[in-house]
Structure 1
């Protein structure tokens, strides 16, 4: 699909992208708000440079990026003449579940257990109590996703023939800029390079293992089909985002607003999620920490994804992604 207009793409003086010219190789680029792209391979003097290389040396590269953003010398190319890919292919993807209060309450009501005939008001009250308890216990829920599920911000998304209930979940995604292990919450922001947009698609029909309910959720099958995580278009440096815990997340389906919520509704804020994931795993530069999705998914509306649907996702200051759904032909 065609990218968003080149004006007012993101907050701040520059962002990062991974681009290519028609059939050429992908390359990391610095993009300015007027829609011009600078090839960082040339600007930084490394023909084999990737976005992971940039993020691996984030602290030393960032000052050079600030200078390049205002330097009129290096030749630039309009983004509109290039293909926009996912801004980074991470080594690891950490995904936060059940992190928006209203979203979890809606899901709790939608996923009614067989035989649960209680009125909706009672089940909503139960879910609200669970959320309050989770917040008091200060225990986020984080699981691991696959980098192979990532696709570009304007690429078509193939809905697998086996996916009976494909759903959208627009999210703020954190991009790690320094190795992080056992990081305290108070220091977590120092390990964040920037932010981008992720749409964490989920097949609701395969979330729970009904053949083995004691096992619980099956995130491999429900979330990790190829292309199930449209990412980008940009990585906006953290210094350009005043407060990641106060951004607006909006998803439109065929022009109709479905998700429209602030990250203020997150139970666990960005710093807590980064800190929590780092207590177990060693976070690496370029890794993603997805922060969860707000209320307004397809299960809430009773309207799931189907062939031809177009999703447009926005997060304040991070640009716009636009993806079209294509149904896979049944085998």
Structure 2
């Protein structure tokens, strides 16, 4: 699994490979995640790579950050599961609804989700994300699988009380205020290689809040497949190695049941064959 790590939370993040219970430092050869996935766009087998000269650390002794380079593009998809659209009171979109987050919104797989003082209605959204391995511009749906190097997990934490604003007589989404808040969005624990063999459209996704199951879905339930999303997005912007695309959340978010995150909560999001995000919740 491809990770970004540091020996402590104050040191700069380095590129590493998590193999078993050891993190191997590969930053001398691959100083960024983008450089690594560009060199291995079809995925990788960590055990087949030459790690003999790489310094290694016990995984339990290091801090894992989000496995995304600072400044990478982070794309997400709204209402990409039918029942989630219905619970939000929305029609299923006729075409993908794409928005972005800055990397300042991201935190690592065990870091606290920080609740900002401007929102009292923060909500979780467990999601599967893919990492781009090749530059993608105007890619067809049929060719799209060639552009995914790996898979990761995202918790698209959303401020429900900041999500909608009025523009004249029209209600529109304020993507910045609701989705891009500092240190609110866990990603990780790392990037699992596509060569692991899991079909990204047949993965179980679960979210537990304080030990209670809140979301339990399968990625087969997406409205638009990953390949359709890549084709749609790459027709509009060039995707670069190291960019990620998070593919939407299944039914079961808290906000539409008036269940909002509070300091002291704990969230656990798992996508089978990919990884687990396990994050505490604190006030910013």
Residues 1:255 and 2:236 aligned together: no
Q: Which has a greater percent of helix? A: 1
1:21 to 2:7 alignment: yes
Report the Cα distance in structure 2 between the residues aligned to 1:153 and 1:188, rounded to whole angstroms: 28
- Provide structure 2 residue ranges, at least 5 long, that are not aligned to the other structure: none
Conserved 8 A contact 1:146-1:224: yes
CA distance 1:250–1:64, change in 2 (3 Å): closer
Distance 1:258 1:30 in 2: 31
Q: Name the SS of the counterpart of 2:118 in structure 1.
A: coil
CA shift, 1:213, in A, is 4.9
- Do structure 1's residue 41 and structure 2's residue 10 form an aligned pair? no
Shift of 1:73: 7.1
> CA, structure 1 residues 146+74, in 2 after alignment: closer, same or farther (shift >3 Å)?
closer
Note the C-alpha offset of 1:326: 1.2
The TM-score with structure 1 as length reference comes to 0.79
Aligned equivalents of 1:288, 1:192: Cα separation in 2: 9
CA distance in 1, matches of 2:180, 2:260: 17
Query: Residue 76 of structure 1 aligns with which residue?
Result: 56
Distance 1:261 1:174 in 2: 17
Work out the CA distance in 1 between the residues paired with 2:211 and 2:145: 35
Given the alignment, which residue of 17, 22, 28 partners 1:30? 17
- 1:145 Cα offset (Å): 2.1
Compute the TM-score of the two structures, normalised by the length of structure 2: 0.92
SS of 1:322's partner is strand
Superposition RMSD in Å: 2.1
> In 1, Cα distance between the equivalents of 2:21 and 2:215?
27
| Alpha-carbon separation, structure 1, partners of 2:106 and 2:234 | 22
1:322 aligns with 2:275: no
2-structure distance, mates of 1:59, 1:264: 24
Answer with 305-314 or 90-99: which moved more.
90-99
User: 1:95 aligns to what?
Assistant: 76
Q: Secondary structure at the match of 1:216?
A: strand
Deviations 1:220-249 (A, max 9, x none): 000111112111011001121421011111
The higher radius of gyration belongs to: 1
Aligned partner of 1:115 in structure 2 is none
Seen in structure 2, the aligned counterparts of structure 1 residues 63 and 263 have a Cα distance that, compared at 3 Å, is closer
**2:173 is matched with which residue?**
217
Report the more deviating stretch, 145-154 or 207-216: 207-216
Give yes or no for contact 1:27–1:51 (8 Å, CA) kept in 2.
Answer: no
Change (3 A) 1:77 1:102: same
2:182 equivalent in structure 1:
226
Following superposition of structure 1 onto structure 2, how do residues 95-134 of structure 1 map, counting pairs within 5 Å? 95-108=76-89, 130-131=91-92, 134=93
Deviation at 1:66, TM superposition (A): 5.2
> Corresponding residue for 1:150?
106
Q: Which residue of 1 aligns with 2:221?
A: 265
Alpha-carbon displacement from aligned partner over 1:11-32 (angstroms, at most 9, x marks no partner): xxxx111111125432111111
Give the whole-Å Cα distance in 2 for the aligned partners of 1:309 and 1:316.
23
Flag the structure with higher strand content.
2
Instruction: Indicate which of 167, 178, 188 corresponds to 2:134.
Output: 178
| Distance in 1, Cα, partners of 2:148 & 2:38 | 12
Change (3 A) 1:213 1:99: farther
Which consecutive unaligned segments of at least 5 residues does structure 1 have?
1-14, 109-126
Q: Is the 8 A contact 1:194 1:236 kept in 2?
A: yes
1:220 match: secondary structure: helix
Partners of 2:161 and 2:169 lie apart in 1 by 13
Following TM superposition, the consecutive aligned residue runs of length 4 or more in structure 1 with deviations greater than 6 angstroms are none
- Aligned partner of 2:32 in structure 1 is 50
CA distance in 2, matches of 1:249, 1:63: 23
> How many residue pairs were aligned?
282
